[in-house]
Structure 1
Amino acid sequence: MNRRDALRVLVGLVIAIAAAPAVAQSWPERPIKFIMAAPAGSSLDVLGRTIADKLTARLGQPVVVENKPAAGGTVATAEVAKSPPDGYAMMIGFNGPLSFSPLLQKLPYDVQKDLAPVITTTSQPNVLAVNATLPIKSVAELVAYAKANPGKLNYASVGNGSSSHLNMELFKQMAGIDAVHVPFNGSPPAVTATIQGETQMIFAVMQPLQAQIQAGKLRALAVTTAKRFPLLPDYPTIAESGYPGFEALAWNGVLVSAGTPKPVIARLNAEINAVLKEPDVVQKLHAQGFDLIGGTPEEFGALIKGESDKWAPVIKRLGLKID
């Protein structure tokens, strides 16, 4: 690099540094698209719309929700990964398309290269639930029923490569039972199938299950945390139900495309952290089983990578893949 080129680079860096505060102050200047990697009415949608409503007021621009649940959330994730790096397109996603699906199939995005984490929003267990017409009131009774009725059980998941899918495959392997996987695009159709008897059991977060459990159509058996979940203290864990070492979480978070200016990411992070501490948000989401997390972009990035590292050997051992 000659002297003139070096000077040009130096001037460019100075301009960029000087412009950074201005970017943060002027952004956003138009509506922001907020893509849900799940369908309307899903737990992710409820969470995302709660955040969107609060952000609209805090940012002074509309935060417009779009639901794109196709292909287990990977379509939504790919759209944001390929969007301009300006903060006007963001997504709320989950461990499926961010940590698990990249281990199961070839995708049109690289999570580490194409996306920038903003914040972890929530983390909560999946709940193992069964159709309430079955003579099953515990994990032990489910395993006994499955072994006595080989080939008769189907299970719903909220999508290929989701924690809902992987949790059941791990449980099947540890319990020595068999059940056919029936994937859906999100929790509403998966829960409906389990109520109607098309499938007999499901792992999902509490929010889409809650009303059906209260109505007596589903029966919750256990949660996937290592210890009892404080927001759902009456439910035993899979681990204490005879399968020590079983532990899994269903977490969510917000991302933008890689290359988005750091001041914009910092602004989003600060505003969403504040939203997650608002008393009405805490009360509403705690009541539905969401544990609100928050934190830094770096912590969310570490969570995404850590979950991939944790589940890669499990996926390999189970021989899972998505064609």
Structure 2
Amino acid sequence: MGRTLSSALSWVLSLAIALTFATLVPLVAHSETYPSRPIRVIVPYSAGSGADITARQTMAKLSEFLGQNIIIENRPGTSAIVGTDAVAKAAPDGYTLLFGVTQHAINPTLQPKLPYDTLKDFVPVARVTDQPLYMAVNKALPGKNIAEVIEHIKAAPGKYNYASTGLGTSIHLAGAYFAWRAGVQMSHIPYTNASQTLVDLGSNEVQVLFYTYQPLVPQLQAGRIKILGSTGAARSAWAPDIPTMEEAGMPGFVMPAWHGVLAPAKTPPEIVGILEKALARVAQDPDYKKTIEPTGTDIYYAPSKEFGAFIESEIKRFGEILNRAGTKLP
């Protein structure tokens, strides 16, 4: 009987070990072989947009380090919600990722009935860039600096307006926040075509626009606009003569656009780790820096945990900005 009991216990122990090993092997094998096929990265904006350009530059280098093709899929619509939702509902296997932008942290306040949970349905992989917005004004608007421009706008309530590339975008919020902080009455003119926004700024159809640097350069070089300030936390190396909004007399006006990679919730930590480390290599690559900085973008790497905390803080911050500035849809 003792021998029978001993044999039974031995069999149970062997089975338990085998089952444990069987459970662990797929995880180990999964992480060791990932990625074994092309990765799809969804950009929730149209081809040729700033987010699309940055995504393609970043993913080209990531593809090189992972040794696997990365396919960019543009899924624009409803303030980035369409593409974001597609990732939230994708299989959590590391083969569908989101190239998230600032809008990801704005939408929870603007769109209370999102088809996904911004925090619970995604796992942050890494933040990769920081892209300041620049306050550009038509040359006909009097003032050599922001303080003088504000003084002039205050003297003519309702005469001037600020443009954006759509309701609820970070560009819209920057304009609304400026008007609120400056205490000026300005109308908001939303556009659906970014190129037309820039043309109308140059022709004085609109007077103020917060936008990324590189697309503003042609209008600047043509002498049609002035660039007075940056929403970055510090002056950019590629535009050192342009002061920050804080330096220009608006403390706390730090509102850069940002980009980062997110995966569906429940993506295995091993896969998230592989992507996180590969993106760290991308951020440190000198060729990547040479490629991305001329577009007016700064490299800003933050690992998964830090990026997650940052997103939570951004949701809170934009909620406060929206409430204070009274910026609701429309």
Please indicate, yes or no, whether the TM-score normalized by the shorter chain is above 0.5. Answer: yes
Identity %: 37
Worse-matched range after superposition: 23-32 or 42-51: 23-32
Q: Which one of 269, 273, 278 corresponds to residue 262 of structure 1?
A: 269
Q: Which residue of 2 aligns with 1:30?
A: 37
Asked whether the equivalents of residues 158 and 204 of structure 1 are also in contact (C-alpha less than 8 Å), the reply is no
Partner of 1:3: none
1:104 — aligned with what? 110
Residue 150 (structure 1) aligned with residue 164 (structure 2): no
Q: CA separation of 1:75/1:182 partners in 2, compared to 1, >3 Å: closer, same or farther?
A: farther
From 20, 25, 28, the counterpart of 1:21: 28
Unaligned segments of structure 1, at least 5 residues: 1-7
**Which residue of structure 1 aligns with residue 6 of structure 2?**
none
Q: Distance in 1 between matches of 2:79 and 2:18?
A: 45
Tell me if structure 1 keeps the 8 A contact 2:45–2:52: yes
The 2-side partners of 1:189 and 1:31 are apart by 36
CA distance in 1, matches of 2:119, 2:235: 32
C-alpha distance after superposition, 1:239-281 (max 9, x if no partner): 2223233222221111111111222211111222212222111
1:240 aligns with 2:268: no
The 5 A counterparts of 1:269-280 are 269-280=276-287
Structure 2 vs 1, CA of residues 281 and 141 (structure 1 numbering), >3 Å: closer, same or farther?
A: same
Conservation of the 8 A alpha-carbon contact between 2:134 and 2:210: yes
Structure 2 residue aligned with 1:138: 145
Q: TM-score, normalised by structure 1?
A: 0.87
Partner letter of residue 183 of structure 1?
P
Q: Residue 67 of structure 2: which of 60, 75, 80 is its match?
A: 60
Contact in 1 for aligned 2:138/2:207 (Cα 8 Å): yes
Q: How many residue pairs align between the two structures?
A: 316
Sort the Cα spacing of 1:28 and 1:305 in 2 relative to 1 into closer, same or farther, 3 A. Answer: same
Give the number of the structure whose alpha-carbon radius of gyration is greater.
2
Letter in 2 for 1:104: L
Q: 1:239 to 1:55 in 2, by over 3 A?
A: closer
CA gap of 1:122–1:12, structure 2 versus 1, over 3 A, is farther
Task: State yes or no: 1:191 paired with 2:213.
Answer: no
Post-superposition offset of 1:196: 4.6
1:39 to 41, 46, 59: 46
- For residues 183-209 of structure 1, the C-alpha deviation after alignment (integer angstroms, 9 at most, x for no partner) is 345754543443354432211222332
13 and 307 in structure 1: CA distance in 2 versus 1, 3 angstrom threshold? farther
Query: Hey, what does 1:178 align to over in structure 2?
Result: 185
Q: Offset of 1:124 from its aligned partner?
A: 3.1
CA distance in 2, matches of 1:249, 1:202: 14
Q: Alpha carbon RMSD of aligned pairs, Å?
A: 2.6
Judging changes above 3 Å, is the alpha-carbon distance between structure 1 residues 133 and 119 closer, same or farther for their aligned structure 2 residues?
Answer: same
Q: Are the equivalent residues in 2 in contact too, given 1:38–1:45 (CA < 8 A)?
A: yes
Q: Give the alignment of 1:202-213 within 5 angstroms.
A: 202-213=209-220
Give 1:24 shift: 1.8
In 2, distance between residues paired with 1:183 and 1:16? 54
The whole-number CA distance in structure 2 between the counterparts of 1:167 and 1:9 is 59
Aligned residue for 2:47, secondary structure, equals: coil
Name structure 2 gaps, 5 residues minimum. Answer: 1-14
How far is the alpha carbon of 1:212 from its aligned partner?
3.2
- Output the CA distance in 2 between the equivalents of 1:77 and 1:311: 18
